[in-house]
């Protein structure tokens, strides 16, 4: 099998790079490689943050349309379920995930970027969900994660027109969090900062926000109480509070050298 995904780890940060030129199209091999990668990352105690990257020219321009065009109902239902589950594995990783977006992030590429906790795009990047122009809709989280990110009205406009969104507008809409001339370098720097923080507290923040946002507030508050109580059993909590009392705020290194 030709390598579709390359993983490189530096310190506690893993960079997951899509390697299916020219546009990193999602075919079955890519989906399987991503699923295997997400499973390994979820089980890793050494990876504290992840960067998703498509290379310097293109993040990912969506599904392999040649493959999709030959599918019938049963084939596409099974294929799409597997791709949706794969993307969900990235969304549910216990560590922060940062997407570095260059070139195009369209269709499935946009949906993969939406699984990240933070998105940094190049000023000339182009984002969007053009599936409606093929007579279909996004099927790997686009209708759900985008609506939760930028609201239902803006999401419907983008999905119903299928238009491409330039990076500056994507920033205004909230599809990306910031722009950088070198989004990979910026994403790596941010991921390293996060990886140096308290691992289990960061995981708890992600769980509280992701699982509480659609729950009744009473359920969200109960989740929050449970998570903060559990953090009092961690070494990072003990170190962070001891450091605060000894040196003042912002000094704890959480077991990592200065």
User: What's residue 255's pLDDT?
Assistant: 59
Q: 232 exposed, middle or buried (CB, 10 Å; 0-12, 13-18, 19+)?
A: exposed
Residues 182 and 95 in one domain: yes
What is the C-alpha R_g of the chain?
Answer: 19
User: What's residue 256's pLDDT?
Assistant: 56
State pLDDT tens for residues 56-104.
Answer: 999 999 888 888 888 888 888 898 899 999 999 999 999 999 999 999 9
Number of structural domains, the chain? 2
Residues 203 and 162 in one domain: no
Average pLDDT over residues 193-219: 95
Residues 186 and 237 in one domain: no
Distance of alpha carbon 93 from alpha carbon 87, whole angstroms: 10
Distance of alpha carbon 117 from alpha carbon 210, whole angstroms: 10
Residues 162 and 223 in one domain: no
pLDDT band at 257 (very low <50, low <70, confident <90, very high): very low
Average pLDDT over residues 188-205: 96
Maximum Cα–Cα distance across the chain: 65
Annotated active-site residue 8? The verdict is no
Smallest Cα–Cα separation from 100: which of 86, 83, 87, 117? 117
Residues 92 and 141 in one domain: yes
pLDDT band at 2 (very low <50, low <70, confident <90, very high): low
Residues 25 and 134 in one domain: yes
Residues 171 and 191 in one domain: yes
Which bin fits 17, alpha (ψ -120 to 50), beta or left (φ > 0)? beta
With pLDDT > 90 as the criterion, what percentage of the chain qualifies?
A: 83
Residues 79 and 185 in one domain: yes
Lowest pLDDT segment from 154-168, 217-231, 236-250: 236-250
Catalytic residue among 8, 29, 92, 111: 111
Distance of alpha carbon 24 from alpha carbon 233, whole angstroms: 43
pLDDT band at 258 (very low <50, low <70, confident <90, very high): very low
Distance of alpha carbon 201 from alpha carbon 79, whole angstroms: 35
For residue 146, give its domain range.
5-195
Annotated active-site residue 224? The verdict is no
Q: How far is CA 208 from CA 51, 212, 214, 237, in A?
A: 21, 5, 11, 17
Task: Specify if 30 maps to a domain.
Answer: yes
Catalytic residue among 131, 169, 189, 239: 131
């Amino acid at each position: 099998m030709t390598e579709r995904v390359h993983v490189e780890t530096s310190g506690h940060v893993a960079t997951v790079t899509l390697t299916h030129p020219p546009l990193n199209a999602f075919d079955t091999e890519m989906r399987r490689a991503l699923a295997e990668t997400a499973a390994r990352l979820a089980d890793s105690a050494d990876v504290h943050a992840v960067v998703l990257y498509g290379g310097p020219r293109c993040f990912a321009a969506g599904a392999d349309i040649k493959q999709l065009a030959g599918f019938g109902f049963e084939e596409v239902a099974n294929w799409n379920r597997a791709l949706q589950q794969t993307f969900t594995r990235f969304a549910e990783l216990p560590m922060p995930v940062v997407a570095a977006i260059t070139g195009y992030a369209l269709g499935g590429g946009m949906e993969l970027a939406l699984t990240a906790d933070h998105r940094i795009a190049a000023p000339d990047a182009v984002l969007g969900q053009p599936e409606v122009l093929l007579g279909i809709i996004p099927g790997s989280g686009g209708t759900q994660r985008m609506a939760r990110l930028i609201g239902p009205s803006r999401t419907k406009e983008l999905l119903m027109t299928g238009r491409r969104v330039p990076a500056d507008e994507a920033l205004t809409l909230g599809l990306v969090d910031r722009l950088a001339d070198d989004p990979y370098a910026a994403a790596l720097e941010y991921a390293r900062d996060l990886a140096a923080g308290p691992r289990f507290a960061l995981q708890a923040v992600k769980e509280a926000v992701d699982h509480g946002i659609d729950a009744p507030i009473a359920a969200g508050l109960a989740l929050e109480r449970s998570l903060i109580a559990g953090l009092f059993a961690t070494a990072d909590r003990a170190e962070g509070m001891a450091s605060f009392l000894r040196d003042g705020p912002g000094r704890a290194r959480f077991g990592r050298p200065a």
